[in-house]
Amino acid sequence: MPTYCYETPDGKIIERFFHMGEAPQSVEVEEGVIANRSYRAERPNIPHAQGWPIECYASGVHPDQAQELRDHLKGRGVPTEVSRDGNPIYTNAQHRKRALKVRGLHDRKSFC
C-alpha cells in the first residue's frame, strides 16, 4: 500500500497507508485535530506551484491605502494579503486573475 502524507495545523507531517485511490483529503490525527493531505510532502522532488505566491508591484497601491485594498478585495469575495508597502500578494494565477478583474484591471500579457 502506498504511503500518503498529511499535515497538521502546526506543520507536523503524518504518514498514513491507504489502498491506491482511497486516500481521503483529510484525516483525524487526534481527537479534534484534523490533518490535510500534503502533496508537497508526498513528492518532495517536484516543485509545488513554482513561482507562487508573488507580490505584484504593478497592481499595488500607496502604503496608506493597503488596508482599503484588503477590505475592497475581501468585500468582493477575493480575500488577498497586501504587504505593508501596498502590494497585493497573489497565491496562484487564478487568484491573481480574479483580484485584477474585481479591480477593473487586466494584464494583456498574462494570456488569461
pLDDT for 65 beyond 80: yes
Q: What is the per-residue pLDDT for 111?
A: 55
Q: What is the pLDDT of residues 36-60, one digit of tens each?
A: 999 888 876 655 556 788 999 999 9
Provide mean pLDDT across the span 1-9: 90
**Does residue 19 lie in a domain region?**
yes
Size (the chain), residues:
112
**Does residue 47 lie in a domain region?**
no
Enclosing domain of residue 7: 3-41
The number of domains in the chain is 2
Is residue 35 domain-shared with residue 59, that is, in the same domain?
no
**Does residue 64 lie in a domain region?**
yes
Q: What is the per-residue pLDDT for 56?
A: 92
Q: What is the pLDDT of residues 66-105, one digit of tens each?
A: 999 999 999 999 999 999 999 999 998 899 999 999 999 9
Q: Cβ-count burial of 35 within 10 angstroms (0-12 exposed, 13-18 middle, 19+ buried)?
A: buried
Judge if pTM exceeds 0.85: no
Q: What is the per-residue pLDDT for 47?
A: 53
**Does residue 58 lie in a domain region?**
yes
Distance CA 73, CA 62 (A): 16
Q: What is the per-residue pLDDT for 39?
A: 84
How many angstroms separate the first and last alpha carbons of the chain?
40
